[in-house]
Amino acid sequence: MTTLFVDADACPVKSEIERVATRHKLPVVIVSNGGIRPSPNPLITTVVVDQGADVADMWIAERAGAGDIVVTGDIPLAARVIENGANVIKHNGELLNERNIGPALATRDLMQDLRASDPFRQGGGKPFGKSDRSRFLDGLERLIRAARAGR
């Protein structure tokens, strides 16, 4: 059975995940370092891991496998779970898979190097908006249907 794993510390779509998972009767595991209010929904399990860099990512990577869906904006985590056969969707609805994870990792590394070389470089990504939320919902629906169909 497909399980939805959520890298929850900076996830802006937790309520959408819960709504879609409830409709499809799929279990969800929300993983964080703390500060996440547990849901009363019986399909939702909240896991609080120890503080530390990448502890939540390691927890998810050790458990997510073939047919599962991982919601994360963390590209290295996405690469690890894709190797395990899991499907990955970012908060903005972008799907990551074995075909596009290499370029995504390279872009992430390049941007990290650029930020490190210019201490005055400001800004981040664009703000999360309604269109991102809509793309996420559409992408999650497609992933769930594909997982159920065994694709």
Of 34-38, 44-48, 136-140, the range with the lowest mean pLDDT is 34-38
Per-chain mean pLDDT for the chain = 88
- Domain assignment present for 19: yes
pLDDT at 41: 96
pLDDT at 147: 85
pLDDT at 86: 94
- Domain assignment present for 125: no
Please give the C-alpha separations between residue 24 and each of 10, 49, 140, in angstroms, as whole numbers.
Answer: 24, 27, 11
**CA 8 to CA 5: how far, in whole Å?**
9
Domain extent at residue 80? 4-97+142-148
Diameter of the chain measured on Cα atoms = 49
- Domain assignment present for 105: no
pLDDT at 122: 62
- Domain assignment present for 22: yes
Does pLDDT of 55 surpass 90?
Answer: yes
Q: How many CB atoms lie within 10 A of CB 69?
A: 25
pTM of the model: 0.87
Please name which of 109, 129, 137, 125 lies closest in space to residue 23, comparing C-alpha atoms.
137
- Domain assignment present for 137: no
- Domain assignment present for 16: yes
- Domain assignment present for 112: no
Say if CB 143 and CB 87 are below 8 A apart: yes
pLDDT at 53: 79
**What are the φ and ψ backbone dihedral angles of 147, each rounded to 5 degrees?**
-65, -40
Banded model confidence at residue 15, pLDDT cuts 50, 70, 90: very high
Domain total for the chain? 1
- What is the sign of the dihedral through the CA atoms of 1, 136, 51 and 110? positive
Q: Which two tokens stand for residue 95?
A: 């799907």
Residue 37's CATH number: 3.40.50
- pLDDT tens profile 81-139: 999 999 999 999 999 998 888 777 776 666 666 667 777 766 566 788 899 999 999 99
